Amino acid sequence: MAMTLQNKDADGDRFRLPHRQDLAPKKGAKSLNVGIIGAGIAGLTAAIAMSQSGHDVEIFERSEFKSEIGAAISCPPNSFRILQFYGIDVASARGGEYKSAVYYDSKEPETKDYLEFSGYRSRYKAPWAFFHRVDLHNELRRLAVQPPDGDRKPAKLRLSSSVKDVQLDGTIVFQDGRTIKKDLVIAADGIRSAFLSQVVGHDVYPEHYMSMIRFLIPSDEFLNLPEARCHFERGMTSLNIVKGGDKSIVFYPCREGTLLNVGVLTPPEVCKSADGDDLPLTQDLIDNATKDFHSVYNGLYRLKDTFGQWKLFRRAPLSTLAKGKIVLIGDAAHPMPPLRAQGAAAAIEDAAALGVLFSDLESANEVPGRLEAFNKLRVRRVGGTQVLSSLHEWDPLKLPQEHTKYFDGKVPYTHQEIDDWFYDYNLITKALEVLQECQTSKEPN
């Protein structure tokens, strides 16, 4: 029976959501056995969302989660709203909130431009939050495997479980030869997804678009530098961007402002030899990447002795995200450079889309129809997100014609139009609408 939309009040408040318990299964509803490959942000959020809708979830993660992953991550309003819906505890994840983006001159540490974010709460009913990745990951893991009492079934997390193959009938084959069959397999295995070609029918290769040298430093150490005092004058709540030709240094706080995440963005050639081979991350390479910046910025890395180097990829959007009983989400489905901080945000949207679209299920025979609904909801949206995130200098006039199809009407151009395109989007509401259409079309006339 079609679920009634409860998310719009009389005034049409587009951000009003049902309570997440409204997605809990009704009496006699069908519980699927769901296998999730990968326990990154996509896999863990999908586990939370699918458990909330009453399914039995098992997550297979090849690593043992012994080492820390990455540095900081920011959650723009479109993804924060979803995390809040599923009950994230921002305090225990030690999250903070951006109030502004500040642009600095690469030669002189003085403000060039200032973009106010504090209006996001009233405009989009959600802040732009930031976290240490490890804290966010731990919180998602807690919500997935130890949900608050009575909230939903806990998902089972199987570490050191490397998946070798997945078949369209839902069979998962592990490296050690074991197999298991699921009603639905969610492939959340990241940018090097081994299961992508199974869904799209051919190999798809990402393009190395930019590189990033990244590290964390204690905020105090930076603020103690005399020339650094002009930064964070309004508190540890800004995203700071220093542009220097084809390179930029981006730094922002995390873990309640105690740490600074610093990223040096460069064209890929900076991190390659003349023969095109990847260069190891040495002092020379860092000097070369930062030499055109004022000493307060290129000196940031002197406050640190270990660094990470990331390749940032872009890839053409896919025309389908699901086949048989397999669905791709997160970076497996849509890798993109972090130019608009939307990679994990889109993964969180995917996860919630699955949670809503697989709620209120009467039989496993409905899986193909619900996956079709997922494609309908997500293919264009993630295509647009990838396109908007894949150009360092955004100019819609340079957009290839085939990419305009991801946008209804005018392609967003100004800051405001782009913000609205990303943050006005209320995934849970949209998914409920698509679910309702899907259920109505199934009902006998």
Ligand X SMILES: Cc1cc2nc3c(=O)[nH]c(=O)nc-3n(C[C@H](O)[C@H](O)[C@H](O)COP(=O)(O)OP(=O)(O)OC[C@H]3O[C@@H](n4cnc5c(N)ncnc54)[C@H](O)[C@@H]3O)c2cc1C
* Contact residues for ligand X, defined by CB under 6 A: 37-43, 60-63, 73-74, 162-163, 188-190, 194, 212, 214, 263, 310, 312, 330-331, 338, 341-345, 347
In this complex, which beta carbon is closest to ligand X, that of residue 253 or of residue 338?
Answer: 338
Please state the closest distance from residue 249 (CB atom) to ligand X, in A. Answer: 13
How many CB atoms neighbour CB 91 within 10 A?
9
In this complex, which beta carbon is closest to ligand X, that of residue 32 or of residue 341?
Answer: 341
* Contact of 312 with 338, CB cutoff 8 Å: yes
Please state the closest distance from residue 142 (CB atom) to ligand X, in A. Answer: 16
In this complex, which beta carbon is closest to ligand X, that of residue 42 or of residue 241?
Answer: 42
Please state the closest distance from residue 179 (CB atom) to ligand X, in A. Answer: 14
Alpha carbon 418 to chain centroid, angstroms = 17
Please state the closest distance from residue 83 (CB atom) to ligand X, in A. Answer: 11
In this complex, which beta carbon is closest to ligand X, that of residue 125 or of residue 314?
Answer: 314
Q: Is 41 helix (H, G, I), strand (E, B) or coil?
A: helix
Both tokens assigned to 297: 């910025």
Helix H or strand E segment including 243: strand 238-244
Return the half-sphere exposure (C-beta side, CA atoms, 13 A cut-off) of residue 69: 15
In this complex, which beta carbon is closest to ligand X, that of residue 42 or of residue 428?
Answer: 42
Placement of tokens 């939903």 in the chain: 152
Q: Is 240 helix (H, G, I), strand (E, B) or coil?
A: strand
How many CB atoms neighbour CB 57 within 10 A?
30
Question: Can you tell me the distance from the alpha carbon of 166 to that of 172, in angstroms, rounded to the nearest whole number?
Answer: 5
In this complex, which beta carbon is closest to ligand X, that of residue 262 or of residue 438?
Answer: 262
Please state the closest distance from residue 261 (CB atom) to ligand X, in A. Answer: 9
Question: Can you tell me the distance from the alpha carbon of 406 to that of 383, in angstroms, rounded to the nearest whole number?
Answer: 6
In this complex, which beta carbon is closest to ligand X, that of residue 360 or of residue 394?
Answer: 394
> Parallel, antiparallel, or unpaired: how do β-strands 72-75 and 163-166 relate?
unpaired
* Contact of 85 with 75, CB cutoff 8 Å: no
Please state the closest distance from residue 61 (CB atom) to ligand X, in A. Answer: 5
Question: Can you tell me the distance from the alpha carbon of 26 to that of 53, in angstroms, rounded to the nearest whole number?
Answer: 10
Please state the closest distance from residue 62 (CB atom) to ligand X, in A. Answer: 4
Please state the closest distance from residue 197 (CB atom) to ligand X, in A. Answer: 13
Placement of tokens 């849970």 in the chain: 428
Question: Can you tell me the distance from the alpha carbon of 391 to that of 368, in angstroms, rounded to the nearest whole number?
Answer: 35
In this complex, which beta carbon is closest to ligand X, that of residue 176 or of residue 233?
Answer: 176
What length does the chain have? 445
* Contact of 318 with 302, CB cutoff 8 Å: no
Residue 29 makes CB contacts below 8 A (sequence gap 6+) with 54, 360, 361, 362
Please state the closest distance from residue 400 (CB atom) to ligand X, in A. Answer: 23
In this complex, which beta carbon is closest to ligand X, that of residue 35 or of residue 109?
Answer: 35
